[in-house]
Amino acid sequence: MNLALQLTGIRIFAHSSMDRIMGYGLKYTDSFNNTHLGIIGKTQDKEASY
């Protein structure tokens, strides 16, 4: 059981690390595109597009 818990922790850590490396960050509950690093993806607001 201890090995399963360790493997689960490693998997969660690796997944969140890959999200951070790719620039996605931690998600907020209001929108999938809203992260602690800012808004990601295509926006519908014309002022926000560059």
Give the pLDDT confidence of 29-49 residue by residue, as tens digits. 887 788 877 787 776 555 554
Residue range(s) defining the domain that contains residue 23: 2-39
Give the pLDDT confidence of 3-23 residue by residue, as tens digits. 999 999 999 999 988 888 887
pTM: 0.52
What does the pLDDT average to over 22-29? 75
Q: What is the pLDDT of residue 44?
A: 57
In a domain, 8, yes or no: yes
In a domain, 49, yes or no: no
Helix and strand numbers (H, E) in the chain are: 1, 2
The tally of domains found in the chain comes to 1
In a domain, 25, yes or no: yes
pLDDT band with cut points at 50, 70 and 90 for residue 50: very low
In a domain, 17, yes or no: yes
**24, 35 Cβ separation under 8 angstroms:** yes
Q: What is the pLDDT of residue 24?
A: 73
In a domain, 22, yes or no: yes
In a domain, 23, yes or no: yes
